[in-house]
Each structure stands twice: as structure tokens, then as C-alpha cells.
Structure 1
Amino acid sequence: MATMSRGQILEAAKNGAAVYFDKQIELLRRMCSIDCGTGEVEGNAKIVEIVLDYLHEIGGLELETIDAPDLGKHIVARYRPETPKGKLVMCAHLDTVFKPGDAAAYPFHIDGDICYGLGCVDCKGGVVMSSTAFRIAKEAGMLPDQEIVMIYNCDEEIGSPSGRKVYEREAKGATAAFVCEAGRKENGLITFRKGSMKAKIECFGKAAHSALAYEEGASAVLELAHKMIEVEAMNDWENKVFYNIADLEGGKNGVGTVADYAACNVSLKPSSEVEMAEMEARFKALESSCHIEGVTTKVTVTTSFPVLERTPANVALYEKIRDIGVEFGFVLPEQRTPAASDGNFLSHYGAPTLDGFGPYVYKMHAIDESMRLSSLPERTMLTAAVIASL
């Protein structure tokens, strides 16, 4: 990169964000018109085509697509200088939580400073923001002597079962990772996210005719009801640690039969690696309690996302970005959130990680998903300036 003053970097970033704002809106409009919920392979293919076309237009990138069976494709775009002196990873995801037909039913539109569209902020806004920030830095001649990798995966909304392998690969040697999930609250940046685990509780009883031989049966449904009350009692309202129960099943043979099977899933949100182990042990202990004679219980605990812990490396990265933001006139407070993201993987695999780089969210995972429109150029110029300042 040619030597540029901080003022020149900031001016180039600001001008570039203004130049490409209309292009970003065009990309968002096209992307939000496509149904691309996780597993919508056809929709993912359309989104991938749009993003790859834009990355080709930017130029100077090695482009890779990675197949994720039954999910679609991940995109990895790589800028590689001759002698890189570090590595920056930026990421966002291509999938949404919405079902087929929703994109047409709830179309993209703009009302003043509010932009509406399914996935506009979670996380298509992060895709167009990060790629355009790279473009601005490239065209202004202010890319650092660092390898820059942009990862756009297709399965974040279900815990990145395929995408996490890409993050593990690219976190190696990374000196910084920017996660372009939505900005929130006071427009800050995120150094901590809780992890995400799931406990499946299965109860196995004995079927019997509910009128002729009720006493010979052992109701798995009734045992599960007791187990759910035990789970509810684990909630810690003071420290805001909650266990959400969902996906109930059981008694499929109807009221004429004592149910021999019942199950539910429970959401667990640990705040540390230690707490992850404690939660798993607490739920496994449910296997040893029995309220209905003849019923056995099995608990299976799986991890969707590790914890994004507030490590010294993550805090040091935040402080550097916060100071650059001040020069733009942006106050970027340090924040934490209970929801997980792919940043949890990047930090877990060793990359100093900062989350919440994307546009400012009003609503997400809702049919009126929306963002503050003016935050798109704000975050684009901030990210372009940060890239140039690494």
C-alpha cells in the first residue's frame, strides 16, 4: 500500500462508500427477492451467482466455492499479496430463516431511513458491506500487506455444520477476524457471545391400552412432563440464564394408548467453556431421575456454537477498531450478546475476533426484518478504513 495519511484513508473510505451506495442497494434488492432459507439449494445457487458476479467485478481475488451437500455452496474469496504479513478474515452468511414464498410475500422496500427485506441485515447487508469495503480499499490503493479472506457460508442459521470446517481452516494464522453480523443497541461492536447447545431429552416407556390396561403401561409423556418441570426450575432469572423447551413429541398413537415414547429439545446458552461442561453434566443427570416407574430417560447434548469469550486478544482488537471509529466521529461501545454467530468459531479456533460489523439492525428473523439504511455506508467506510489501517 502506498503511504497515506490517516486523513487520506478516511476521506477515500468515505468517498468510496458514497460512490458504491447505489450498487449496494441494487445488490440487496436482488438478494432479498430470492428465497434462500437454509437448505434451499436452488435459492442458494442464485445468491451465490449474484455474489460471485460482484466479486469478479471487483477483481484481484481468488474465488473458491465449497459444496455443502443438501445445503448449497460456501464462497471463499481470497486476496493474496506476494509476501503477506498477516491475515484478515471477514465473514457473513448467505442463508436466512425464512420459508419458500416469503421473499415475494414480504418484498424489499425502503421507507425513509429504514430498509426492509428478508435477510437484509441477517446477513446480506454484511455480505455487500464487507465486499464493498474491500473494493474501496483496493481501488484506493490502500490494501495492507496482508492476506484478506472473505467467507460467505450457507448454513449459519442451523449452526454452520458444514461452514465451521471452513472457519477452522481459515482461522489458522489469522491476525484479525471481522464478523459482519448486524450492529445493534448503541451501534457498538461485540467482544462476547454466549455459546449454543441443545439437549434432546427422550423418555422410553411401555405402551398399553389406556382403558383396558392403563396400569400395565408406563407413560413416557408423563415422565417427560416431570422432566420439563425440572428444566424450568433450572432457570436463573437473576443472572438471565434460561432453558427454552421446544419440539415436543409423544403419544403419536393417540389417547387410546399409553405413550411409550416422548421427547423434547432444550436450548442451552453457556457463557464459558466451563459452563458448557457444567450444563452438560446437569442435563445428563436427568437420566438418573425417575418419576414414573418403568420409564427410562436418555439425554443427548450437542454443541451448535462454542462460546465467543472476551479474551485479551479480542479486547485488544476491539480497542484498535474503536479508536479508528472515533476519527470518523463514531462512538463504538464494547458490547456483548446472548446470541451466537460464526464469530464464535473463529475465536474458538484462535483468531482475534470482533463481531457486529454489519449494518444497524431494527428487526431480524421477522417478516418485517429491517435495518437503518444510513448505517450501511457508515459501516462500509468504517470497515474500509480499518482494512487500510491494519
Structure 2
Amino acid sequence: MTSDEQTVATLSKWLALESPTHDAAAVNAMQDMILGEIADEPIRVDRIAGRDGLGDCAILHAGPDNGRPAILVVTHVDTVHPVGTLAGALPVRRDGDRLYGPGAYDMKGGIYLALMAFRDAARLGAALGRPIRLLLSPDEEIGSPTTRTLVEDLGRRSSHVLVMEPARPGGAAVTARKGVGWFDVEVEGRPAHAGSRHQDGRSAIREAARQILKLEDMTDYDRGTTATVSKVAGGTAINVVPHQCRFAVDVRITNAAEGERIEREILGLAPIGADVALKVDGGINRPAYERSDGVAQLFAAARAEAASLGFDLSEVPMVGGGSDGNFTAALGIPTLDGLGVDGDGAHTLDEYCLISSIEPRRRLVERLLQTL
């Protein structure tokens, strides 16, 4: 079996095990499968039991324990596709250079190449010069509610962070990401019969509609800020003035100051109409990942290593979606994202990775683990 055939065989097996975030048993089975690949290697594994109904986390350790800051590789095993996707519109299949399947691009292909790079680097032992760690997170796709503190703690003990989220088109790395904020707004009005006592009611939906327009108007493309009301629910019956309405808001920002400003404005929302009440919860849950000097220097080092391996590594200076790299970059740790596989279709029924991208990017990550 050739190296490519082995890669496709292993990755296909991984893709055939669906691991959506909220299925803890499936996520844990995926952890078992991944860890089984390095069972006989000089790698120590810390497995942390999941909580709040989510799956386990695993941290791989290798290299010398010499007190130097580590190089941290960040991955996540959870996917967005529900169980049953395989049996429906997205079965595991190969079409030329494309390998399709739930999580092929985001990010089981990235886990595979990172794991192989980590394994080969680990075999060098003390010759590595510094410790290396690989994080397998169970909940990145829902904002890392149980692992953010762990990611930040590992980041503080690291000199560099390599994030295996998928590459941008053409294999570009990511050197900045927008921060993400999620908010829930609850409106309390007063119910009344819509026919005989309309004047006594205070419509929560009417108030929500006015607040929604105000929130949507916070979008400012020049600043790179977007505010999206993404879910709305309210009312009880067609003949009742609605006394409750609830909606969710997604916010994206490009820097910390803008995050503080927009968070302050949303949490400070006040009623527009009379005799209604608002309750606003939430905040910026992923800080902005800004292209600092440290990030720029790390990208330059990675680009030079890629060139020595025979390919060009470009960069995308701003991506709208967040990742666990936001947490480490916001702490000032040089972080390079988008080092996973090339491909397309993240979170869709056309998700695939490019098989040809796996080996060169594996070699790049291995070189970075040896040279940074």
C-alpha cells in the first residue's frame, strides 16, 4: 500500500465515524480511534473526562521536559454534521484528488496530518530541543465552552501555537480572524386578547422588531463589524398580543477595542416602547485574533520552511470565522492558523479535502515542530 493509499484508508475510517459535538459517545469513540494510531509511540497522553454532556479532551506530550516553552498544536475532533449524514447526502467517497465525508476538511484531514507530523517529531526525543504538545478538543464547533480555559493555559506555556483548521483556498494560512460575540435577548411585554382587549397588551414582538433593526444597524463594513439577528421566537397564539419574544445575535469584530464597544452597546440595550422589559445575556466569546508582529514572524518562518519543501505558502490576513487560535493570539502568543488540509465545503454537504495537500503540509508542520 502506498503512502497516499494508507492516508486515504485511515482518513476514510475516521470519516466513517461521525462525531458531532453534542454526541459525547461519538466524540469519545473518535478520540479512541485517533489515539490508537500513536499507542506505541514515545508520546504521553493526558485524557480529561468531558463535562456538561460533552466529550473528552486529550493532550499529547512529547520531546524533552527541559523547562522551555512548548510548541502547541491545536485540533478539534468534533464536527457539525449530525449522525446520519453519512447515510444521506455526504457518504465517504474518493473522486480523483478529492476525499469527501463529514469533517474531511474541517478538520479530520488536519488532525491526520498534524498527528503524523507530531508522531514523527516525537521520535526525535530530546533532539527536539523543547517540548511539543498536541490538543484534541471536543467542543470547538460550539465555541469551546469546556475547553477555552485549557487552551489558554496551554497557550501561556507555549512559545508558538499551530492551529490545524483548514487552509483557505489555494492552501493559504490564516494570520488573523474576527472575534465572535453571541448574545441572547429576551423581551417581556404584557399579554392581552388581540380582539377585545388589544389596548391592554404590550407586544413583545413589536419591541423585539424595533430592537432587531437597531442591532442590525450596528453592522459597519468599514470597521469590519457585523451584527446578525439569527434566530427569533415569540408569541403564544394567533389571537393573543404576544408577551414574550426571544432572539439571538451573532457579532463579528476585528479588534479588541471594537469588541469592547459593541459588547457594551448590546448589553446596554434599553426598552424602546413603554411597559416592556429587556434581558440581555452573552458577550464576546472569542476575542479578535489580530496579526501582531509575532504572528507575522511566525508566518514568515512557516513560509520559508514551505519554500524549502518546494511549495509556496500564502496568507489570508482576515477570516470571518473564529477558532481556538483566537484565544491564544489574544494572549499575545504567536499563532498561525489554517495549517490544515486544502479543500472546500466546510459545514456543507459538499465537504472534501484535497488528498494531494496532506503530505506537503504534514512535512511543513513536522519541520516547524523541529525548528521553531
Helix, strand or coil for the counterpart of 2:158? coil
Question: Which residue number in structure 2 is paired with residue 177 of structure 1?
Answer: 161
The alignment yields a C-alpha RMSD, in angstroms, of 1.9
Work out the number of aligned pairs and report it.
369
Question: Which residue number in structure 1 is paired with residue 259 of structure 2?
Answer: 276
Question: Which residue number in structure 2 is paired with residue 68 of structure 1?
Answer: 50
Helix, strand or coil for the counterpart of 1:72? coil
CA distance in 2, matches of 1:86, 1:144: 12
Helix, strand or coil for the counterpart of 1:338? coil
Question: Which residue number in structure 2 is paired with residue 300 of structure 1?
Answer: 281
Query: Does 2:311 align with 1:318?
Result: no
Q: Quick check: 2:16–2:86 contact (8 Å CA) kept in 1?
A: yes
Q: Quick check: 2:223–2:254 contact (8 Å CA) kept in 1?
A: no
The structure where helix makes up a greater share of residues is 1
Q: Quick check: 2:168–2:174 contact (8 Å CA) kept in 1?
A: no
Question: Which residue number in structure 1 is paired with residue 345 of structure 2?
Answer: 363
In the TM superposition, 1:121-200 aligns within 5 A as 121-139=105-123, 144-200=128-184
Query: Per the alignment, do residues 254 and 143 of structure 1 end up closer, same or farther by CA in structure 2, a change over 3 Å counting?
Result: farther
CA distance in 2, matches of 1:20, 1:90: 23
Among all aligned residue pairs of Structure 1 and Structure 2, give the percentage whose two residues are the same amino acid.
26
CA distance in 2, matches of 1:155, 1:231: 28
Q: Among residues 34, 45, 49, which one is paired with 2:32 in the alignment?
A: 49
What is the CA distance between 1:314 and its match in structure 2? 1.4
CA distance in 2, matches of 1:80, 1:137: 8
Question: Which residue number in structure 2 is paired with residue 341 of structure 1?
Answer: 323
What is the CA distance between 1:233 and its match in structure 2? 2.0
CA distance in 2, matches of 1:140, 1:113: 32
Question: Which residue number in structure 1 is paired with residue 309 of structure 2?
Answer: 328
Q: Quick check: 2:290–2:329 contact (8 Å CA) kept in 1?
A: yes
CA distance in 2, matches of 1:103, 1:162: 27
Query: Per the alignment, do residues 375 and 142 of structure 1 end up closer, same or farther by CA in structure 2, a change over 3 Å counting?
Result: farther
Helix, strand or coil for the counterpart of 1:197? strand
Amino acid at match of 1:137: A
Question: Which residue number in structure 1 is paired with residue 248 of structure 2?
Answer: 265
Q: Tell me the TM-score normalized by structure 1.
A: 0.90
Helix, strand or coil for the counterpart of 1:236? coil
Query: Per the alignment, do residues 270 and 239 of structure 1 end up closer, same or farther by CA in structure 2, a change over 3 Å counting?
Result: closer
Give CA-to-partner distance per residue, 1:12-68, whole Å, 9 cap, x none.
xxxxxx9744333222211211221111012112101101111214x1111111122
What is the CA distance between 1:240 and its match in structure 2? 4.6
Query: Does 2:209 align with 1:225?
Result: yes
Question: Which residue number in structure 2 is paired with residue 14 of structure 1?
Answer: none
Give CA-to-partner distance per residue, 1:291-340, whole Å, 9 cap, x none.
x3221222223232111111111111111111111112222123221110
Helix, strand or coil for the counterpart of 2:128? coil
Question: Which residue number in structure 2 is paired with residue 26 of structure 1?
Answer: 9
What is the CA distance between 1:136 and its match in structure 2? 2.8
Give CA-to-partner distance per residue, 1:153-199, whole Å, 9 cap, x none.
00000000111122122112211110000011342211111111012
CA distance in 2, matches of 1:52, 1:280: 40
CA distance in 2, matches of 1:284, 1:44: 34
Helix, strand or coil for the counterpart of 1:56? coil
Give CA-to-partner distance per residue, 1:211-258, whole Å, 9 cap, x none.
11111000001110111111222222445532121221110x211211
CA distance in 2, matches of 1:249, 1:143: 58
Comparing 84-93 with 188-197, greater Cα deviation is found at: 84-93
Q: Quick check: 2:75–2:135 contact (8 Å CA) kept in 1?
A: yes
In structure 2, list runs of 5 or more residues that go unmatched.
none
Q: Tell me the TM-score normalized by structure 2.
A: 0.94
Helix, strand or coil for the counterpart of 1:65? strand
Helix, strand or coil for the counterpart of 2:229? strand
In the TM superposition, 1:200-219 aligns within 5 A as 200-219=184-203
CA distance in 1, matches of 2:69, 2:220: 43
Amino acid at match of 2:363: M
CA distance in 1, matches of 2:329, 2:313: 20
